[in-house]
Amino acid sequence: MNFNEAKDKLSKYGQEHVLKYYNELSQEQQEMLTTQIAGTDFSVTANVTGGIKETPRGKITPIKAMTLPEIEANREEFTKTGIETIRAGKAGAVLLAGGMGTRLGSANPKGMYDIGITKPVYIFQRIIRNLLDVVDMAGTWIHLFIMTSDKNHDTTVAFFKENNYFTYNPGYIHFFKQDMAPAATYQGKVYMEDKYKIATSPNGNGGWYSSMKNAGITDFIHKTGIEWLNVFAVDNVLQRIADPCFIGAVIHKNCSAGAKVVRKADPDEKVGVMCLEDGRPSIVEYYEQTEQLRNTKDENGEPAYNFGVILNYLFKESDLEEICNNELPLHIVEKKIPYMDENGAFINPEEPNGYKFETLILDMIHMLDTCLPFEVERNKEFAPIKNKTGIDSIESARKLLEENGITL
Ligand code: UTP
């Protein structure tokens, strides 16, 4: 993209300030900037200038989950189907590790965090160990796709290499970078990080499939014959990945997707719950859960919206192509955005100073016809690390790991 083309594109979105220092830049920097302009979707900023519009929700009704007793009664059969699927090379796993982990506050990618006490135990190491349990059980390697971002890609790749991929087969690990979105002021003007660089951040965990596609990974998936993708978050250190019983259950129920869910610890727990929205599977985020929704009971007198998602989903890959072509709702999130001020000084703000634009994986569920909520025991499968201390922290995860017999 040349200067004039860049200028035209920017003026369409009222972002001409991006080129303010163009004439002072070296040729290399000028090229970096125009390349970034060419690859950036500025249309997201229009969502700010036009005011944030919330999409109204449809009619919310309860969804039936597959609960522990039903799973136990069929465990053998589901597991057999899952193992057969894995052995046939039809299941892959996608690790979402593109996030910034701001709440944990470490300069390194979250997966590099050492949660050990007497020895180093890295989050990535725990995840690979959990996947190796299934590899050992099935007697076959499982392709693992790791999503990073521009901000943490090189560090993440180097870390896996240094640690010999935690004994995983490197031929089955594939890194890909997530697409980035510009960050903007409250008035919708994109922030600059430097005179030749627009401030960007990863475009949210809903960006995983389109980013995979843009990185050419879906071609590999089609060629290899992978049909199911188990997508999971980096920060749950008890995460069961490519769980054969889960895969088997979703296949037996003939669903497009499955979501691992836990019973809510209490009505106010901050987790999104599964439901039907206008008859289609959906998730109500914790901040959208009304008093009435929290108090609704099912025919057995149990809370009707009681199954929280833990960011562990199984998707039938062929059904995702369509979602990718439809637009996912855009979430506008207020965040602290490091930026360059009018005098060219770099500022690391203490308070939120603008918006980031994200799509969320949970919105993908609503676009599918069917999704099986699959209950798991929270103390065995849910130890998220979001904060250093308190709820969902290093402390709480360590306790749960020890409860599960893992030496730290
Ligand atoms: P969170 O929403 O908890 O975000 O991510 P985070 O970046 O880990 O932490 P905070 O909010 O900044 O403190 C849930 C999962 O989604 C991934 C994260 O890496 C994590 O596995 N994620 C999130 C991405 O891969 N890309 C994104 O753009 C955002």
Atom 1 in ligand 1: residue holding the nearest Cα: 99
Average pLDDT over residues 58-72: 96
Average pLDDT over residues 54-67: 90
Atom 20 in ligand 1: residue holding the nearest Cα: 233
Q: Mention every residue, 6+ apart, whose C-beta is less than 8 A from residue 91.
A: 82, 85, 142, 226, 227, 228, 229, 230, 242, 247
Question: What's the confidence (pLDDT) of residue 268?
Answer: 85
Question: What's the confidence (pLDDT) of residue 56?
Answer: 82
Element (H, E) at 122: none
Index of the ligand 1 atom closest to the CA of residue 178: 26
| Distance from C-alpha of 280 to C-alpha of 370, rounded to nearest angstrom | 7
**The pLDDT of residue 179 is above 70:** yes
**The pLDDT of residue 354 is above 90:** yes
Q: Mention every residue, 6+ apart, whose C-beta is less than 8 A from residue 236.
A: 310, 311, 312, 381, 382, 383, 384, 385
**Ligand 1 centroid to 140 CA: how many Å?**
29
> Whats the size of the chain, residue-wise?
408
Average pLDDT over residues 191-211: 94
Element (H, E) at 252: helix 244-252
Average pLDDT over residues 123-129: 98
Band (pLDDT 50/70/90 cuts) for residue 165 is very high
**The pLDDT of residue 129 is above 80:** yes
| Distance from C-alpha of 287 to C-alpha of 266, rounded to nearest angstrom | 15
Written as six digits, the tokens of 365 are: 């569920």
| Distance from C-alpha of 288 to C-alpha of 282, rounded to nearest angstrom | 13
Contact (Cβ atoms closer than 8 angstroms) between residue 190 and residue 183: yes
3-state SS track over 314-330: EEEHHHHHHHHHCCCCC
Residue in 123, 151, 235 to alter for ligand 1 test, most ligand atoms within 8 A of Cβ: 235
pLDDT in tens, 287-340: 889 999 999 998 889 999 999 999 999 999 999 987 877 778 888 989 899 999
Question: What's the confidence (pLDDT) of residue 323?
Answer: 80
Band (pLDDT 50/70/90 cuts) for residue 53 is low
Question: What's the confidence (pLDDT) of residue 356?
Answer: 93
Written as six digits, the tokens of 306 are: 């009681």
Question: What's the confidence (pLDDT) of residue 52?
Answer: 60
Residue in 146, 205, 333 to alter for ligand 1 test, most ligand atoms within 8 A of Cβ: 205
Band (pLDDT 50/70/90 cuts) for residue 159 is very high
Q: Which residue has the higher pLDDT, 169 or 107?
A: 169
Rg (CA), the chain: 22
Question: What's the confidence (pLDDT) of residue 195?
Answer: 96
Atom 5 in ligand 1: residue holding the nearest Cα: 99
Range from 248-252, 384-388, 389-393 that averages highest in pLDDT: 248-252
Mean pLDDT of the chain: 94
* Degrees to nearest 5, angle at CA 333 with 330 and 334: 155
**The pLDDT of residue 61 is above 90:** yes
Question: What's the confidence (pLDDT) of residue 46?
Answer: 86
| Distance from C-alpha of 148 to C-alpha of 331, rounded to nearest angstrom | 20
Index of the ligand 1 atom closest to the CA of residue 232: 21
Average pLDDT over residues 53-65: 87
**The pLDDT of residue 51 is above 80:** no
**Helix, strand, coil percentages for the chain (3-state, nearest 5):** 40, 25, 40
Ligand 1: residues within 6 Å at CB? 96-103, 110, 147, 178, 202-205, 233-235, 311, 386
Average pLDDT over residues 361-379: 95
This prediction's pTM: 0.94
- Start-to-end Cα distance in the chain: 52
Question: What's the confidence (pLDDT) of residue 390?
Answer: 92
Question: What's the confidence (pLDDT) of residue 407?
Answer: 92
- Pairing of the two strands 307-316 and 228-233: antiparallel
Residue 46's CB: how many other CB atoms inside 10 A? 12
Average pLDDT over residues 181-192: 95
pLDDT in tens, 203-221: 999 999 999 999 999 999 9
